[in-house]
Structure 1
Amino acid sequence: MSEMKPHLLLVEDDGQLRAMLEELFVGEGYEVSSAPDGQKGLHLALTEEFDVLILDRGLPVMDGLNLLSKLRRQGVETAALILSALGNPADRVEGLDAGAEDYLAKPFDVEELLARLRALRRRHIATATTLRIAGGRFDLGSRSVTRPDGSIVVLSERESALLEELARWPNRVFGREEILEYVFPNAEEAGVVDTYVHYLRRKLGRGSVRTIHGIGYKIGTLA
């Protein structure tokens, strides 16, 4: 069964740097899409779903700040980090005001870039109101899951709480005791976890919640 990887958009016009960063991010476990200019980056960002954006500022066709401003006006709230050769405080303020969550000047340290990227992902995971699940999307506000065929499944409050905990941390395996503590703190028996896993599988497909034998459960893939 395929693992759910965070999807990253990299928009960078320097081909050598773009190739290096693509390899770096893939090695960190990301699914990477890339574009060499702002216009192509805008198209990708508006037509695909991403977990994080890495945007060069000095892009051809449309610069990175203009690209990000357009995305924010279109309602795209994906966390973004700006890379730029312009690194003085005024430039950073301009980048943050354009809608970026972070700004890193070139040349940069690779380990610092990866650390900032991890921090962006943690903030995104903790605050997201729509979560990607392999094969679909989970809207926390309406407690609804959009399946691959476009059909929508509405969950109960407890089903939604369990799916949210698993979907926010897609690479983590949760033991029954952890799920009891985080999702069902008032439950008297650990069997409630298995019961609601069964309910989710019945509504979303058997692969929606994976059993990791001897450990617990993790998010799976929608059929």
Structure 2
Amino acid sequence: MPASGALDLLLIEDDPQLGPLTRDVLAESYRVTLVADGAAGLDAGRSGEFDVMVIDRRLPSRDGRSIVAALRAHRVTTPILMLTALGTVGDRVEGLDAGANDYLVKPFDFDELLARLRALTRVFSAEGAALPVGEWTFYPDDDCIVSPYIGRILLTPRESALLRLFAQHPTQTFSRRQILRTVFTADEQPGTVDSYVHYLRRKTDKDVILTVHGQGYRLGAL
């Protein structure tokens, strides 16, 4: 049984084995509602009764990406983690572009799922260290950025680490190689940097990071 004051979680998953198993694991920390149909899941998500959602990409009657997009169009700002068996960069970008805050590729470890949910639902402290990004306020320790227009936007740890690099050095241009060495791992490809710049732009604004042709990237002016 979840502890008193546990958050309400909507799980939209149609797999007859994974759905109930995931529900039972999450139920130790959350009050979980499991819905196995895409259209019914969208209706549940629109209710505004949930603190966080976990949505499978492939669902009957309506796929997960369109559910996320419809929820965002309905101005539902609840943090959403998307589960997907599609692990390519393009598939991840589509999910993030639709409005998901994070994604996890199947098969996954439940400890990682729980950790990502904790990160998504963590309440940031206004007293924490803040960095200005134009008119926005970035809280690197809480993996979120606050827009003057739409409020708090959650970032993944890697997105946050990348934005921290730019925000701490607002006038410096970084090459892809420098960014890989500082934020990512040495064995990753330069395209990883481009992907995460894309993720940040989609979650915030296209001008949050500027491309300096022939040199790399630098912080933009929102």
| Partner Cα separation in structure 1 for residue 112 and residue 5 of structure 2 | 25
Q: 1:3 to 1:109 in 2, by over 3 A?
A: closer
| Distance apart, 1:89 and its partner CA | 0.8
Structure number with greater Rg is 1
2:77 matched residue in structure 1: 77
Task: Please give the secondary structure, in 2, of the residue aligned with 1:126.
Answer: coil
- TM-score scaled by length of structure 2: 0.54
Please give the per-residue CA displacement for 1:49-107, whole angstroms capped at 9, x wherever unaligned: 11100000001100000001000000100000000100111111110010000011111
Give the counterpart letter for 2:12 in structure 1: V
Deviation at 1:126, TM superposition (A): 2.4
The number of residue pairs the alignment matches comes to 124
84-93 or 2-11: which moved more?
Answer: 2-11
Give per-residue Cα distances to partners, 1:152-203, cap 9 Å, x unaligned.
xxxxxxxxxxxxxxxxxxxxxxxxxxxxxxxxxxxxxxxxxxxxxxxxxxxx
What is the TM-score normalised by the length of structure 1?
0.53
3-state SS of 1:77 partner: coil
* Residue 93 of structure 1: aligned partner: 93
Structure 1 partner of 2:45: 45
Q: Is the 8 A contact 2:65 2:98 kept in 1?
A: yes
What is aligned with 2:7?
6
C-alpha separation in 2, matches of 1:68 and 1:34: 16
Matched AA of 1:8: L
Off by >2 Å, runs of 4+ in structure 1: none
Over aligned residue pairs, what C-alpha RMSD do you find? Answer: 1.7
Partner of residue 54, structure 1: 54
Distance apart, 1:111 and its partner CA: 1.1
Equivalence for 1:33: 33
Give the drift of 1:3.
2.5
- Matching of residues 11-30 of structure 1 within 5 Å: 11-28=12-29, 30=30
Match of 1:130 in 2: none
Q: Which residue of 1 aligns with 2:109?
A: 109
Task: State the identity %.
Answer: 49
Q: Which residue of 1 aligns with 2:142?
A: none
2: CA distance between counterparts of 1:3 and 1:22? 18
